[in-house]
Amino acid sequence: MFKSVLFVCLGNICRSPLAEGAFRAEVAGLKLPVVTDSAGTAAYHIDEKPDPRAIATAKRNGVDISTLRGRQVKVADFTRFDHIVAMDADNLANLKRIMPADATAKLSLMLDWAGRKGESVQDPYYGDDDGFNITWADVVEASKGLADHLANEA
C-alpha cells in the first residue's frame, strides 16, 4: 500500500524541498512506494523553484530538487497525506492551528524521526552555504528514520 508524506517549512524553498529530496532518495533506495510533496505554511514563494543554494546542496549529494515548486499547505493536505512532517515547532503549531476536525494525517517534527525529539531543522535561508550543508545532513538523518518507520508500519 502506498504511503504519502508532506514536508512543511515556512516558505517551501529551503528546508522542506531539501527534506522531500532527501526522503525521495531514501525511499527509492529501499524501493518503498511513497508519494511525497512539500509545502510552506506561508504564501511567500508560490510556484518558485527552491533556493539556488538548496538546489546546489541537493545536487552535490546526488539529488535533483530543481523541478520542485513552492506551494502553500492546503486544508485538503490533512486528508490527502498519511504524514505531515514540519521542520520546526512554529510550523508544527501553525499546522495544528489550521488542521481540520476530519484530519487523518499524523503530524510530527522532522528531527523526531532522527531520535531528536522536539528539535528544529535549522533554517539556512539567511546564512551561508554551510547552513545548507547542516540542514541537508539533518534531513538525511531524519529521512532514514521516517523511511524505516514507513517500511515497518502495518
Catalytically active residues, by annotation: 9, 15, 123
Distance of alpha carbon 9 from alpha carbon 15, whole angstroms: 6
CA distance 38 to 88: 14
Residues 6+ apart with CB under 8 A from 108: 83, 84, 85, 86, 92
Element (H, E) at 143: helix 129-152
DSSP annotation of 9 reads: E
Amino acid type, 108: S
